[in-house]
Chain A
Amino acid sequence: MIVARPAPRARVRPGRLALHAFLIVMVALWLFPLLWAIYTALRPLSDTVKNGYFSIASSLSLGNFTSVWDQAQLPYYYLNTLIIVVPGVLLTLLVSSMLAFALTQFSWRFNLIVLMLFTAGNLLPPQVIIIPLYWLYLNIPVPIGWLSDNGLLYDQYIGIILIHVVFQTGFATFVLSNYMRTITREITESALVDGAHVLRIWWSVILPLCRPALAAMATLLFTFMYNDFFWALILMKSGDKRPITSALNNLQGAFFTNYNLVAAGALLAAIPPILVYIALQKHFVRGLALGATKG
């Protein structure tokens, strides 16, 4: 038997080649539904009516995007989403970083139980709590005009923000406390010895150390809240207050036969999270990893 001579810097290894071939096929399959949606959205309705959807386009234009933008009042719904998501993300980061700070830098008797309550609450199917929550939203008074124009949590931005914050605080606290656990408590101790009070330690000592985790959480929370469909579906009644995902669902009814417009609407709604993902992919993936593994 001849011993194969090791080929230094073999340019093509068959195993690697097969691997790439497999991955390229999978990637093509994965991208296809999205590319097909883009293709459909770029074709004028007249073109697809004449030739069918399964055909070579005779012309491409951005017409569907501009008409769905106007007809479905998309800027308006983007704004609704923004009104919910920006305070939602900021409040969740604020609350969960305080919680994680208090739970990891100090020892309380019930540390673990509190953390478990929050984490478990975040893992429940939202439908399990929706019936009593719906009742609460109709009955808890909010007597502050600029927060609620009907005096309730129901059908208000503040109500959707609140349930997002409470629900996602479970996840964010879990991840942030995993992260803060790696910060030695001696930092907090020495700051206390130096006479700093806890709020100051939280803000000027611990938060700066958590910047990577906070960035990761902000990215994830933005996507979670932006993509939410369920809370606004049940806890809002007025179509004009709903975020873009729920508005999209109505679009389906309005333009049911016009797949070109539906495709354009769906893609427009998908653009903000895709942009965030492209710009902040590193944070995004780290956030998920922090949730699944420790540290």
Chain B
Amino acid sequence: MAEPTTTPAAPVQAEAGTGAVAAVRRKRRYSLLTRHDKLILGLMVGVPLALDLILIWAPAMASVGISFTNWSGIGPITSDNFVGVRNYQVLFGSYIFFRPALAHNLIWLAFLTLISTPFGMFLAVLLDREMRGTRVYQSIFFLPVVLALVVVGFIWELQYAPQEGFINNALGLTKSGGHIIDWLGNPNINLFAALVAASWRHVGYIMVLYLAGLKSVDPTLREAAAIDGANQRQTFFRVVFPVMAPINVIIVVVTIIESLRAFDIAYIINRGKNGLELLSTLITNNSISEASLVGFGSAIAVVLLVISLVPIVLYLSRVMRDMTTT
């Protein structure tokens, strides 16, 4: 790291500095800041931090507490409400929607990770070159990303509707004697119909992220590979892809997080039922939208929270490591 301190009084400190040097700098750190400045800076951090803690982290933690009660959401929680791990016993034991919902989340994850995300990356690789029309292609693939998932859901209903939809008509299934496929109503296939609609949006998103990563690869690496006689495929798999390792990890983690957050499309199609149960829709359906099983809904929220923390921690450790090394 370059030595940043020019004047002894300057409030410069080392980001990666350690030991005595850092200790000396720490003393000087705010020497130029007045008390008023410090107050302002404290407010700049303190007010948003307080709101973040109150509206996001406190609720996340409170979900854990509520999950051990049979609270209905109304009135105070007393010791009478405490039911120990009963909600979890019911959830993992007799609750018939938990396993399907978990399985659907996993299928969602597998579909996006194995099909949609690699396809988005593939498009990015194809489009990351000097080529006529590459901007136009990129803009079109990206277009669905700016649409609300509600709108995406409606647009795809026009494709999937049993009698009126494009797909069944195009396949000739609506003619007399044809076997109509109820894409959104049949619980065996509606998850995949929803996934196609979700992927329509996801692919463009991944493409843009990956294109940004590809642009950041040092062009001399490719030139060197070309001089050494590598063809395009070899250059990509042996040179570019390994250099992109940090972006690859971020893309996978983004995909995992997106899969766990899936909610809107399932809710719009049929409120997340009949083949479209997801952990996220079970939470709201049990606790707010339909039933008042707030304690039980919280137990599902805790399960989703714990699962979500894995990719989040992975993501943060990756990006924050990058930050401390820049």
Question: Are chains A and B native binding partners rather than an unrelated pairing?
Answer: yes
B227 at the interface (CB under 8 A from A): no
B248-268 residues with Cβ-Cβ distance < 8 A to A are 250-251, 254, 257, 260-261, 263-264, 267-268
Q: How far is the CA of A21 from the CA of B37 in the complex (A)?
A: 61
Residues of A within 8 A of B82 (CB): none
Give a binary string over A161-193; 1 marks a CB under 8 Å from any B CB, 0 the rest: 011011101100110001001000110010011
> Which residues does chain A contribute within 8 Å of B263, judged by CB atoms?
125-127, 230
- Among A99, A107, A115, the residue within 8 A (CB) of B29 is A107
Contact A132 to B169, CB < 8 A, known contacts A117-B57, A125-B304: no
Contact, CB under 8 Å: B288 / A181: no
Q: Which residue of B lies closest to A124 (CB)?
A: B308
The answer to whether B147 and A270 touch across the interface, beta carbons within 8 angstroms, is yes
Chain A residue nearest to B134 (CB atoms) is: A23
CB distance from B193 to the nearest CB of A (A): 12
In the complex with contacts A166-B52, A186-B4, A293-B308 CB distance below 8 A: no
**Chain B 127-165 per-residue mask, 1 if CB under 8 angstroms from chain A, else 0:** 100011100110111111011111100111111010011
Q: Mark A107-138, 1 if CB is under 8 A from B, else 0.
A: 11000101111111101111111111111100
Tell me if B88 counts as interface (CB < 8 A to partner A): no
- Greatest chain B CB density within 10 A among A119, A202, A266 is at A266
Q: How far is the CB of B85 from chain A (nearest CB, A)?
A: 18
Which of B41-49, B91-99, B181-189 contacts the other chain?
Answer: B41-49
The residue on B at minimum CB distance from A273 is B146
- B326 smallest CB distance to A (angstroms): 6
Whether A127 pairs with B284 at a CB distance below 8 angstroms is yes
Instruction: Give chain B nearest CB distance to A55 CB in angstroms.
Output: 9
Q: Does B62 contact A (CB under 8 A)?
A: yes
Interface size class of A (residues with CB under 8 A): 35 or more
What's the minimum C-beta distance from A203 to chain B, rounded to whole angstroms? 11
Q: Which residues of B contact A (CB under 8 A)?
A: 4, 6-7, 10-13, 15, 29-30, 32-34, 36-37, 40-41, 44-45, 47-49, 51-60, 62-63, 66, 73, 123, 126-127, 131-133, 136-137, 139-144, 146-151, 154-159, 161, 164-166, 169-170, 174, 200, 205, 208-209, 211-213, 215-216, 247, 250-251, 254, 257, 260-261, 263-264, 267-268, 279-280, 283-284, 287-289, 294, 297-298, 301, 304-305, 308, 311-313, 315-316, 319-320, 322-324, 326
**What residues make up the interface of A, taking CB atoms closer than 8 Å to B?**
16, 19-20, 22-23, 26-27, 30-31, 33-34, 36-37, 40, 48, 52-54, 95-96, 98-99, 101-103, 106-108, 112, 114-121, 123-136, 162-163, 165-167, 169-170, 173-174, 178, 181, 185-186, 189, 192-193, 197-199, 202, 223, 226-230, 233-234, 245-246, 248-249, 252, 259, 262-263, 265-267, 269-270, 273-274, 276-277, 281, 284-285, 288-289, 292-295
